[in-house]
Amino acid sequence: MTPSVHVNPLQRVSAADAVAWHQVVAASTAHDLPGVPTPDPGQIHAQLTKPSLGSHRLTWLATAADGRPVGVAALRVFTSAGQEHLAELELHVDPAHRRMGAGSRLLSTVVAACRTENRRSLIATAAADGPGEVFSERSGFRRALTLDHLMLRLDGSDTDGLLRIADAEHPGYRLTGWTGTVPDGLAAAFAAAKNAMNDMPVGDLDYGSVAWDVDRVRAMAAVVADRGDTLLTVAAVHDDGTMAGYTEILIPQGSAPRVQQYDTAVVPAHRGHGLGLWVKAAMVRRLRDEHPGVVEIETDNADDNVHMLAVNHRLGFRSYRRTREFQLDLSAT
């Protein structure tokens, strides 16, 4: 007999809910993604309760008959123009309680919420060739994109080579950087450069596009700060005042040794000058100077993003795992 599973919507995520959520995510991550750090309960509470950019979040906790947490689901419902059709799912089931209906119950609840929210596309991420991939394909999702995750060890990379790249001259361009919100004098140029991300490879995902303006880049920085995280940016500025390219790093709250690459982009009119390599090398130097406790940078690229993969490999990033993006076309189900 299959044990009963109760799916409970979390109208307000309490500290106790965050502890239960962490318990499930930690067990799921350790099983499916060994070596990948799990956010602590405080970080999870912030992620689930603080406002997100251009979206709102719905959450559910699945419990066994005795009240033990066995699964969680979070649905990010996008609200920005160009993405009103889209929702993104994060779903975890404790490995000790899999094949008992918790994942299917959570997914059914999420799909119903997507229909209520008038979504046509639901996307989710799973480790390549892992149980999440099997579950996704059995549940009607189609494979839409493969991501190559890469890691750079700052204590083992070629310091002299990175410094040479960061110190190389690029006539007509200068480097600048900031922490958190972009300075007022660069805000308009940064917003314009952000729109270069709209041509990044997304495979067969129905991802839509986002129009960046000054208000949106400031709102993004505020969201990151409100979670307790730190956002670092290094940018290349042309002599005419145009921001030609930039790279961002997210440092999770606390003193995490691993940081996450956010966006890296070069504006089309300025491509072909090595600016992506330049700003990323300069960011590595900045991390070493300002955040010596950071020892790893994790990034990911679509497996057909040949140019950025080449940039990252030249900097010393090495592939260490792969994930896949799946999409459920709700209009066909």
Task: Give the count of beta carbons closer than 10 Å to the beta carbon of residue 157.
Answer: 17
Query: Whole-model pTM above 0.75?
Result: yes
**Element of type H or E holding 122:** strand 121-127
Query: pLDDT in tens for each of the 333 residues of the chain?
Result: 356 899 999 999 999 999 999 999 999 999 999 888 888 888 899 999 998 999 999 999 999 999 999 999 999 999 999 999 999 999 999 999 999 999 999 999 999 999 999 999 999 999 999 999 999 999 999 999 999 999 999 886 576 788 889 999 999 999 999 999 999 999 999 999 999 888 888 888 899 988 999 999 999 999 999 999 999 999 999 999 999 999 999 999 876 799 999 999 999 999 999 999 999 999 999 999 999 999 999 999 999 999 999 999 999 999 999 999 999 999 865
Per-residue pLDDT at 255: 64
| Interhelix angle 306-315/275-290, nearest 10 degrees | 40
Q: Is 67 left (phi over 0), alpha (psi -120 to 50) or beta?
A: left
**Helices (H), ranges, 200-292:** 214-226, 275-290
Per-residue pLDDT at 253: 85
Strand ranges of the sheet holding 86-93, from the earlier edge strand across to the other edge: 5-9, 55-64, 69-78, 86-93, 121-127, 318-329, 142-153, 296-302, 258-266, 243-251, 230-238, 173-179
Dihedral angle over CA of 252, 257, 262, 267, nearest 10: 140
Per-residue pLDDT at 157: 59
SS3 of 1, please? Answer: coil
- Tokens representing residue 112 in the block: 């119903």
Per-residue pLDDT at 3: 64
Per-residue pLDDT at 1: 38
- Which residue in this structure is represented by tokens 């940018």? 235
Per-residue pLDDT at 5: 92
Nearest to 252 by CA among 244, 261, 240, 241: 261
* CA dist 120 → 66, 76, 82, 317 (Å): 36, 14, 13, 36
- Say how far apart CA 147 and CA 130 lie, in whole Å: 14
228-276 pLDDT, tens per residue? 999 999 999 999 999 999 999 999 987 679 999 999 999 999 999 999 9
Per-residue pLDDT at 172: 97
Please, what is the average pLDDT of the chain? 93
- Which residue in this structure is represented by tokens 């390549």? 128
- Tokens representing residue 262 in the block: 């956010």
Evaluate whether 107 touches 74 at the Cβ level (below 8 Å). Answer: no
What domains are there in the chain, each with its CATH number?
Answer: 5-119 (3.40.630.30), 150-321 (3.40.630.30)
Length of the chain: 333
Q: What's the number of CA atoms in the CB half-sphere (13 Å) around residue 276?
A: 21
Neighbouring-strand partners of residue 123: 88, 327
Evaluate whether 132 touches 90 at the Cβ level (below 8 Å). Answer: no
